[in-house]
């Protein structure tokens, strides 16, 4: 049977016109979408927040934060809803959380879309450069001048959580702009087993390694040390940076933007040698992917003599339900001691914690509420209440207050560590720099690279990231 | 009582109706236009969700555009492609991906076919066995990754605990260069062997019984029957399963992300994981687009070669 020939099939002029029209529409849509991205990106610097808080809405409003999932996030939501509602009953605080490894992506993919479902981004101090140069967060300089008592803070804490370009370690540049205000201060604490190594904490890095070695030898099944080694987030990188600082090394020369030759100088090499050849052998087998939770678990189960962890994540160690070290907080504290990090060639400790930053894409009403919240949060009495609720404040009066110092045995460690803090780079290339360092330190800790090769690779690759800003094509490899 | 229906009508085969005939279609609504109207929603969805993003990615792959930095998308011609193809970092990830694909798909094929062959020989409990074997395939890869991460933990994982009870030492499954990639292959094999098994089982069930009966009459050995009847008839179907699995394995991301985060160092970073880092850590959108396009091209070219071989096999 023959089928009749279909009309309009093949290369008839009508079909060609239709195809051409479809192609034109597709190309036009593509170009329109591309040009839309360019228009949105024309804004290359952070927009300014008003110097005074605009009139606040009386309608119900939800003020959203974005953070990563850990105990301080829940503490903040509970605290803010209890306290802030007293002055703003129509406002509800919502702290949205994502896994730590997705924290940067979750914020910056929304920034890339020029639309955020959060009003306040809780940025790590090192994220500031990327957010500022992309115009993602508000410039708070004028707002801070008019509403915040900057003399109440350690200048470096105020700079670390808000200033860009980055301040010199320990200082604040009064003429630089501020893009955020402190939310949660933090640093590493040394957690040690008083029942195994004695009441007195090791004072130097050498003493600490010697104590851990002896403790491990004397107590089979208990490892000498526990610290962050994972290659996700900034885990292994912070560990190396801490040892680097203690042994007198530098991460870079900020003025000349030079890493190669600075990071891998003799001090840097010594730090890497200490970390890989002296500290790593004292850790538990298979601990090469440990981060905050795993280190806490090792301490709580009595499997580590000495451990290092962020103070803000250490609260659970005193919970008898999560610990095998005692049936009460007092019993646990009889075995666990908390101390500032040992010194060696310097007394530097890592700066942790985060600031609050207002999304440039939030609605005007929510931006106004965000500014009001920040002004409220930075008051002396609120900072003390935040300290009592489990937060780590940044105002000097709150840090020295009994509310804070008595809230946890590790809080005095934070108070003593403030003048000793050093941060990483907060340049726009931070995410790539930290990934390079993380993967290479992790490789060295797990035997996939020699310590020298790992450090030289970090220096070379990080330098190429900083140098490649003008390169045409292939960026990011 | 209604009027009786007439037994005969002008048109044989049709029963006359008292209801008036339906209104005719308007003249502009031809069959062709009606067809276009029906497929237009699906077509528009396809254009918006697949074709447009692909074309946009293709455009971006020739630029230095960054989604977060914004600014003009400067044309860099083949700069991104050249950089990717000559990058030692990419070569390393390509080798890791190749080892992973060959190892995982090879193991799954051998195990999947073996299980299917053994099940096909059973007469009782075949359905139950097949269902049980299919369970891992129904789980989310993220869930699979999470519980295998616990099971493979060097300190408290059940795998090391079992090895310990057998008097064997602890193995650092996820933190050593050699064992981390092997662990990924084992976990992927655990989850996806049932897929190969299912397709192989379908092929084995379809082999005509009379061929085996004829072979039995000729006193053919078990091995001879397997080699000359079973394998040649199931082989084309098995190759299709291998093709699907190879494409899936080539773009592996989730298990790497959950189990090893690409570590130790970058030793288990696959191409997909590397693209993710290029796209979302540095937000080098242009480079990431070129990377993605190259991966699609590789899959298309390899699939074409594979399908040609498959067609040739069928013709032979």
Q: Classify domain A187-349+426-469 at the CATH topology level.
A: D-Maltodextrin-Binding Protein; domain 2 (3.40.190)
- Complete DSSP assignment for B83-136: HHHH-HHHHHHHHHHHHHHHHHHHHHHHHHHHHHHHHHT-SSSHHHHHHHHHGG
What backbone phi and psi angles, to 5 degrees, belong to A204?
A: -120, 165
Residue B26 lies in a domain: no
A261 in contact with B at a CB cutoff of 8 Å?
A: no
- Among A30, A289, A445, A453, most B C-beta atoms within 10 A, so best to mutate, is A289
What backbone phi and psi angles, to 5 degrees, belong to A54?
A: -65, 170
Tell me: the pLDDT tens digits for A373-414? Answer: 999 999 999 999 999 999 999 999 999 999 999 999 999 999
Q: Which pLDDT does position B123 carry in this prediction?
A: 76
Tell me: the pLDDT tens digits for A33-60? Answer: 444 443 333 334 789 999 999 999 999 9
Do A238 and A227 meet the contact criterion of CB atoms below 8 Å apart? no
Q: Which of A27-31, A59-63, B49-53, B119-123 has the lowest mean pLDDT?
A: A27-31
The helix or strand, by DSSP H or E, that contains position A67, with its residue range, turns out to be strand A61-68
Residues of chain B with Cβ-Cβ distance to A46 below 8 Å are none
Tell me: the pLDDT tens digits for A424-457? Answer: 999 999 999 999 999 999 999 999 999 999 999 9
Residues of chain B with Cβ-Cβ distance to A442 below 8 Å are 263-265
B136 pLDDT exceeds 50?
yes
- Encode A211-220: b = buried (16+ Cβ within 10 Å), e = exposed: bbbebbeebe
Q: Which pLDDT does position B285 carry in this prediction?
A: 94
Select from A273, A240, A276, A246 the least CA-distant residue to A436: A240
Q: Which two tokens stand for residue B245?
A: 């699995």
Residue B66 lies in a domain: no
Q: Which pLDDT does position B147 carry in this prediction?
A: 95
Return all residues near A310 (Cβ < 8 A) that are at least 6 apart.
A186, A187, A188, A189, A292, A352
CATH number for the domain that contains residue B170? 1.10.3720.10
Do A103 and A422 meet the contact criterion of CB atoms below 8 Å apart? no
Q: Position of tokens 């493979």?
A: B152
Judging by beta carbons within 10 Å of its beta carbon (0-12, 13-18, 19+), is residue A8 exposed, middle or buried?
A: exposed
A40 in contact with B at a CB cutoff of 8 Å?
A: yes
A440 in contact with B at a CB cutoff of 8 Å?
A: yes
Residue B33 lies in a domain: no
Q: Which of A187-191, B7-11, B37-41, B285-289 has the lowest mean pLDDT?
A: B7-11
Tell me: the pLDDT tens digits for B6-28? Answer: 444 445 445 455 566 666 667 78
Q: Which of A7-21, A75-89, B198-212, B291-305 has the lowest mean pLDDT?
A: A7-21
Residue A323: is the preceding peptide bond cis (ω within 30°)?
no
Instruction: Label residue B313 by pLDDT band (50, 70, 90).
Output: confident
B76 pLDDT exceeds 70?
yes
Q: Classify domain A61-186+352-422 at the CATH topology level.
A: D-Maltodextrin-Binding Protein; domain 2 (3.40.190)
Instruction: Label residue A475 by pLDDT band (50, 70, 90).
Output: confident
Number of domains in chain B: 1
Inspect the interface and report whether the beta carbons of B281 and A431 lie closer than 8 Å. Answer: yes
Q: Which pLDDT does position A204 carry in this prediction?
A: 98
Instruction: Label residue A8 by pLDDT band (50, 70, 90).
Output: very low
Packed helices B177-206 and B88-120: angle between N→C axes, nearest 10 degrees: 40
Residue B269 lies in a domain: yes
Measured distance CA(B75)–CA(B60) in Å, rounded? 9
Half-sphere exposure at residue A358, Cβ-oriented, CA atoms within 13 angstroms: 30
Q: Which of B32, B78, B155 has the CB atom closest to A284's CB atom?
A: B155
A100 in contact with B at a CB cutoff of 8 Å?
A: no
Residues of chain A with Cβ-Cβ distance to B66 below 8 Å are 475
A359 in contact with B at a CB cutoff of 8 Å?
A: no
Do A63 and A120 meet the contact criterion of CB atoms below 8 Å apart? yes
Nearest chain B residue (CA) to A442: B265
Q: Which pLDDT does position A264 carry in this prediction?
A: 98
Q: How many CB pairs under 8 A join A and B?
A: 173
Tell me: the pLDDT tens digits for A156-177? Answer: 999 999 999 998 898 999 999 9
Tell me: the pLDDT tens digits for B57-68? Answer: 999 999 999 998
B250 pLDDT exceeds 70?
yes
Tell me: the pLDDT tens digits for A306-328? Answer: 999 999 999 999 999 999 999 99
Measured distance CA(B181)–CA(A334) in Å, rounded? 43
Measured distance CA(B110)–CA(B196) in Å, rounded? 9
Inspect the interface and report whether the beta carbons of A431 and B282 lie closer than 8 Å. Answer: yes
The mean per-residue pLDDT over the stretch B221-244 comes to: 93
Do A352 and A421 meet the contact criterion of CB atoms below 8 Å apart? no
Residues of chain B with Cβ-Cβ distance to A41 below 8 Å are 69-71
The mean per-residue pLDDT over the stretch B213-224 comes to: 94
Inspect the interface and report whether the beta carbons of A41 and B80 lie closer than 8 Å. Answer: no
3-state secondary structure B224-260: HHHHHHHHHHHHHHHHHHHHHHHHHHHCCCHHHHHHC
- Strand A61-68 with A120-124, pairing: parallel
Q: Which of A33, A432, A448 has the CB atom closest to B267's CB atom?
A: A448
- Strand A91-98 with A61-68, pairing: parallel
Inspect the interface and report whether the beta carbons of B47 and A26 lie closer than 8 Å. Answer: yes
Domain boundaries, chain A: 61-186+352-422, 187-349+426-469
Residues 291-310 of A with CB under 8 A from B: 303
Tell me: the pLDDT tens digits for B139-173? Answer: 999 999 999 999 999 998 999 999 999 999 899 99
Q: Which pLDDT does position A79 carry in this prediction?
A: 97
Identify the bridge partners of residue A139 per DSSP, sorted by sequence position: A48
What predicted TM-score, i.e. pTM, was given to this entire model?
A: 0.89
Q: Which two tokens stand for residue A229?
A: 């080694």
Residue B79 lies in a domain: no
**Mean of pLDDT over chain A:** 91
Domain with B229 in it: 87-315
- Among B70, B169, B289, most A C-beta atoms within 10 A, so best to mutate, is B70
Measured distance CA(A20)–CA(A37) in Å, rounded? 26
Residues 229-248 of A with CB under 8 A from B: 230-232
Instruction: Label residue A6 by pLDDT band (50, 70, 90).
Output: very low
Residue B22 lies in a domain: no
Residues of chain A with Cβ-Cβ distance to B70 below 8 Å are 37-38, 40-44, 134-135
- Encode B289-316: b = buried (16+ Cβ within 10 Å), e = exposed: bbbbbbbeeeeeeeeeebeeebeeeeee
The mean per-residue pLDDT over the stretch A130-148 comes to: 96
Q: Which of A41, A286, A474 has the CB atom closest to B287's CB atom?
A: A474
Residues of chain B with Cβ-Cβ distance to A34 below 8 Å are 56, 59-60, 73
- Is the model more confident about A148 or about B127? A148
A121 pLDDT exceeds 60?
yes
Distances (CA, A) of A267 to A271, A273, A340, A341, B180: 6, 10, 22, 18, 32
Neighbours of A254 (CB within 10 A): 16
A2 pLDDT exceeds 60?
no
Q: Position of tokens 């479809």?
A: A22
The mean per-residue pLDDT over the stretch A275-295 comes to: 97
């Amino acid at each position: 049977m023959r089928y009749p020939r279909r009309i309009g099939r093949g290369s008839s002029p009508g079909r060609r016109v239709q195809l051409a029209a479809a192609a034109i529409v597709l190309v036009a849509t593509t170009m329109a979408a591309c040009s839309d991205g360019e228009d949105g990106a024309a804004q290359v610097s952070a927009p300014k927040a008003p110097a005074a808080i605009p009139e606040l809405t009386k309608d119900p409003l939800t003020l959203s934060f974005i953070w990563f999932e850990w105990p301080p996030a829940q503490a903040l939501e509970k605290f803010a809803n209890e306290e802030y509602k007293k002055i703003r009953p129509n406002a509800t605080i919502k702290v949205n959380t994502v896994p730590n490894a997705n924290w940067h992506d979750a914020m910056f993919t929304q920034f890339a879309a020029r639309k955020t479902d959060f009003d306040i981004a809780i940025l790590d101090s090192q994220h500031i450069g990327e957010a500022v140069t992309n115009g993602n967060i508000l410039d708070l300089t004028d707002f801070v001048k008019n509403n915040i008592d900057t003399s109440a803070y350690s200048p470096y804490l105020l700079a670390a959580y808000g200033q860009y370009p980055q301040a010199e370690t320990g200082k604040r540049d009064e003429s630089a702009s501020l893009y955020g205000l402190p939310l949660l201060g933090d640093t590493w604490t040394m957690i040690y087993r008083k029942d195994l190594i004695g009441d007195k904490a090791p004072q130097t890095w050498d003493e600490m390694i010697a104590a851990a070695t002896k403790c491990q030898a004397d107590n089979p099944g208990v490892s000498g040390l526990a610290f962050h080694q994972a290659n996700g987030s900034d885990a292994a990188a912070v560990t190396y940076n801490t040892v680097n600082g203690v042994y007198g090394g530098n991460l870079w020369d900020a003025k000349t933007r030079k890493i190669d030759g600075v990071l891998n100088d003799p001090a840097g090499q010594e730090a890497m040698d200490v970390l890989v050849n002296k500290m790593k052998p004292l850790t538990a087998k298979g601990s090469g992917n440990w981060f905050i939770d795993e280190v806490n678990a090792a301490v709580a189960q009595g499997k580590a003599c000495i451990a290092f962890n962020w103070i803000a994540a250490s609260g659970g160690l005193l919970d008898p339900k999560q610990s095998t070290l005692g049936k009460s907080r007092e019993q646990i504290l009889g075995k666990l001691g908390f101390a500032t990090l040992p010194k060696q060639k310097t007394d530097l400790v890592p700066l942790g914690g985060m600031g609050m930053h207002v999304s440039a894409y939030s609605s005007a009403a929510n931006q106004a509420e965000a500014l009001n919240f920040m002004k409220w949060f930075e008051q002396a009495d609120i900072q003390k209440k935040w300290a009592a609720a489990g937060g780590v404040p940044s105002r000097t009066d709150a840090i020295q207050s009994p509310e804070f110092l008595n809230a946890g045995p590790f809080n005095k460690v934070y108070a003593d560590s403030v003048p000793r803090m050093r941060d990483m780079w907060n340049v726009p290339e931070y995410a790539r720099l930290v990934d390079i360092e993380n993967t290479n330190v992790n490789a060295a800790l797990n035997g996939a690279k020699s310590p020298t090769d790992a450090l030289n690779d970090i220096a070379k690759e990080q330098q190429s990231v900083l140098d490649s800003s003008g390169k045409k094509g292939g960026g990011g490899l | 009582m209604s009027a009786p229906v007439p037994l005969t009508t002008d048109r044989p085969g049709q029963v006359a109706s008292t209801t008036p005939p339906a209104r005719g279609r308007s003249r502009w609504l031809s069959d062709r236009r009606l067809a276009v109207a029906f497929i237009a929603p699906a077509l528009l969805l396809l254009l918006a969700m697949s074709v447009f993003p692909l074309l946009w990615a293709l455009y971006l792959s020739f630029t230095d555009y960054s989604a977060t930095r914004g600014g003009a998308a400067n044309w860099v011609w083949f700069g991104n492609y050249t950089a990717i193809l000559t990058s030692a970092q990419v070569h390393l990830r390509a080798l890791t991906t190749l080892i992973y694909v060959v190892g995982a798909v090879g193991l799954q094929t051998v195990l999947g076919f073996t299980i299917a062959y053994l099940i096909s020989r059973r007469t009782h409990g075949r359905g139950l066995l097949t269902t049980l074997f299919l369970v891992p395939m129904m789980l989310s890869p993220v869930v699979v990754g999470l519980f295998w991460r616990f099971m493979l933990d060097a300190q408290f994982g059940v795998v090391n605990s079992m090895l310990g009870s057998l008097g064997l030492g602890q193995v650092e499954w996820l933190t050593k260069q050699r064992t981390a990639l092997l662990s990924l292959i084992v976990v992927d094999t655990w989850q996806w062997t049932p897929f190969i098994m299912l397709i192989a089982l379908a092929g084995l069930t379809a082999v005509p019984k009379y061929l085996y009966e004829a072979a039995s009459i000729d006193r053919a050995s078990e091995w001879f029957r397997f080699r000359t009847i079973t394998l040649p008839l199931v082989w084309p179907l098995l190759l299709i399963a291998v093709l699907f699995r190879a494409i899936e394995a080539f773009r592996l991301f989730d298990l790497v992300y959950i189990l090893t985060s690409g570590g130790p160092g970058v030793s288990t970073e696959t191409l997909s994981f590397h693209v993710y880092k290029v796209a979302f850590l540095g937000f080098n959108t242009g480079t990431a687009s070129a990377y993605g396009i190259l991966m699609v091209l590789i899959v298309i070219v390899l699939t074409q070669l594979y399908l040609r071989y498959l067609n040739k096999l069928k013709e032979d």
